[in-house]
Structure 1
C-alpha cells in the first residue's frame, strides 16, 4: 500500500466518522421537529373549540352590556326626575324663606313699637314714682327744718 492510498483510507475513515457524528444530532433534531409538529397540531385542534367558547362568551358579555346600558338608561331617567324634584323643593324652600322674612318683618315692626311703648310707659311710671318720692322727702325735710326753727 502506498502512502497515497493510506492517506485516502484515513481520509475516508475520517469522513465516515464525521458523517456518523453529524447523523446523531440530526436524528435528535428530527425527534424535536416531530414533537414540535405534534404540539402545533394539538394547538390547532384545541383552538377551534376555544374560539367557539370565546365567541359565546363575547356574546354573553354583549348581552350583559346591553342589559347594563338599559339599566343605566333607567337610572338616568330616575336621576332626571330626582333633579326636577330637587329643583322644585329648592324653589319651595326659597319661597318659604321669603314668606318667613315678610311675616317676620310685618309682625316684628308692630311688636317692636308695642315693646318700645311699654318700656316708655314703665320708665315714665318709674320716674313719676321717683319724683313723688323725692317731693315727699323734700317736704319732710322742710317740715323738719321748720320744726327745728320754731323750737
Structure 2
C-alpha cells in the first residue's frame, strides 16, 4: 500500500464516520417531520367538521337576526301609529276639554263670588 492509498482509506473512513454521525440527526429529523405531518393531518380532519358547524351556526344566526329585524320594524311602525293616535286624541279632545275645565272653573269662581258679599259693598 502506498501513502496515497492509506490517505484515501483514512479519508473514506472519516467520510463514512461523518455519514454515520449525520445519519442519526437526519433520521430524528425525519421522525419529527412524520409527527408534524400526522399533527397537520389530524388538525385538518378536525377543522373540516368545525368549519361546517361554524357555517351552520352563522346561517342560523343570520335567520334569527332577520326575525329580530322584522320585529324591530314592527315595533317602530307600532310606535309611529301610537304617536299619531296620541296626537289625534290630543287635538280632538284636548282643546275642548281645556275649554270645559276653564269654563267650569270660571263658573265656580263666579258662584263663589256671588254667594258672599263683596267687601266694601253696602248691603241694603
CA distance in 1, matches of 2:7, 2:89: 114
| Aligned pairs for 1:1-150 within 5 A | 2-91=2-91, 92-93=93-94, 96-97=97-98, 100-101=101-102, 103=103, 107=107, 118-121=118-121
Structure 1, residues 121-147: CA drift from partner, whole Å, max 9, x if none? 1xx57xxxxxxxxxxxxxxxxxxxxxx
Stretches of structure 2 lacking an aligned partner (at least 5 in a row)? none
Stretches of structure 1 lacking an aligned partner (at least 5 in a row)? 126-151
Q: How many residues align?
A: 121
CA distance in 2, matches of 1:98, 1:6: 131
Moved over 6 A (4+): none
2:66 is paired with a residue whose SS is: helix
Higher-Rg structure is 1
CA distance in 2, matches of 1:98, 1:32: 95
Give the CA RMSD over aligned residues.
3.1
- The structure whose residues are more often helix, as a share, is 1
Q: TM-score, normalising length from structure 1?
A: 0.60
- Please name the residue that 1:137 is paired with: none
